[in-house]
Amino acid sequence: METKVVRHLDNEKNSNEKELEQESGQGYIKIKKFYFVMLLFVVVIAAAGITTIAFSFGEEPAVTVNNQRDEFNKLYTAYDTLMDDYYKDLTSEDLVNGAIDGMFTALDDPYSDYMNEEEAASFQESISSSFEGIGAEIQEQDDSIVVVSPIKGSPAEKAGIKPNDKILTVDGKSLQGMSSSEAVLLIRGEKGTKVDLEIERAGASDPLKITITRDTIPIETVYGEMEKDKIAKIQITSFSEHTASELVEILNKYQEEGMEGIVLDLRHNPGGILEEVKKIADLFVPNGEIIYQIEHKNGTVDKVTSQNSNNMDIPLVVLIDGGSASASEILAGAVNQSADVPLVGVKSFGKGTVQRAESFTDGSNIKYTIDKWLTPNGSWIHEKGIEPTYKVELPSYASLTMINPESKLKKGSNSEEVKIAQEMLKALGYEIDNTNGYFDESTEKATKEFQKKEKLKEDGVITDKTTTQLMNKLSEKLQKSDTQMNKAIEVLKKEMEK
Residues belonging to the active site: 326, 351, 355
C-alpha distances in Å from residue 488, one per residue of 180, 263, 444: 34, 7, 39
C-alpha distances in Å from residue 351, one per residue of 117, 160, 382: 27, 24, 5
Backbone angles phi, psi at 493, to 5 degrees: -60, -35
Alpha-carbon torsion, ordered 243, 246, 248, 253, to 10 deg = -160
Q: Read out DSSP for 222-238?
A: EEEEE-TT-EEEEEE--
Of 332, 337, 366, 370, whose CA–CA distance to 350 is shortest? 332
Q: Are 405 and 385 in contact (CB under 8 A)?
A: no
Q: What distance in Å separates the CA atoms of residue 280 and residue 271, rounded to the nearest whole number?
A: 13
DSSP H helices, 350-440, are: 416-427
User: First-to-last CA distance in the chain?
Assistant: 41
The type of residue at 389 is: T
Q: What distance in Å separates the CA atoms of residue 3 and residue 126, rounded to the nearest whole number?
A: 7
Q: Each residue of 387-407: b (16+ CB within 10 Å) or e?
A: ebbeebebeebbbbbbbbbeb
Of 329, 332, 335, 278, whose CA–CA distance to 307 is shortest? 278
Q: Environment class of residue 313 by beta-carbon count within 10 Å: exposed (0-12), middle (13-18) or buried (19+)? A: exposed
Q: Residue 294: how many CA atoms within 13 Å on its side-chain side?
A: 13
Q: Are 340 and 14 in contact (CB under 8 A)?
A: no
Which residues, 6+ apart, have CB-to-CB distance to 387 below 8 Å? 343, 347
Q: What distance in Å separates the CA atoms of residue 480 and residue 377, rounded to the nearest whole number?
A: 36
Which residues, 6+ apart, have CB-to-CB distance to 244 below 8 Å? 276, 279, 280
Identify the three-state secondary structure at position 419.
helix
